[in-house]
Amino acid sequence: MTTVVFKDGVLACDSLVVDGNQKLLTPTQKIFKVKHLVAAICGDYEQAFDAAMYLLNTELKKHYVKPKNPDFEVWVFNKETHESKTYRNQVKTGHEIQSPCSMGSGSDFAMGALLSGGCCKSAIEIAATLDTTTDKNIRVVRLWKLQNKKYKK
């Protein structure tokens, strides 16, 4: 599984992929960018990746084939308009993402950290400590800066 979090214009995720009970050792990309769109994925990696590529490349004429047993979630962020949508097990209708939010196996732990005032990176670190299918190899992406908000350095 994985853990992905979003708060105050910042997106973060771990890089672990699990196949059944087997952890794959290679760090895996879970955040993708095409032009001004950024996607983060969770769930069945192949299903989520295919859905993300479809959502990020709307100009492609590729026909998306919905899996028989879908088990994925994709978040898509527009860096220009600051719009964000979540797509769960389908690609037709997205729902607005509220900040802060989290998804994945360590989601509850990460959300607790975010609601306690933690940043995205610390939320993933806490989730990795408490969830065996989240690791501490973390990628953090600033999508946009919030206006009228001071950040700690």
Question: Where exactly are the structural domains of the chain?
Answer: 3-142
| pLDDT per residue as tens digits for the range 41-91 | 999 999 999 999 999 986 665 667 788 899 999 999 999 999 999 999 998
**Which pTM was predicted?**
0.88
Which of 13-17, 18-22, 40-44, 63-67 is predicted with the least confidence, judged by mean pLDDT? 18-22
Q: By the 8 A CB rule, do 15 and 138 touch?
A: yes
Helix, strand, or coil here: 146?
coil
Residue 88: beta bridge partners?
73
pLDDT, average across residues 100-107: 96
Q: Report the length, in residues, of the chain.
A: 153
| pLDDT per residue as tens digits for the range 132-143 | 889 999 999 999
**Chain center to CA of 3:** 7
Q: Taking the domain 3-142, which CATH number applies?
A: 3.60.20.10
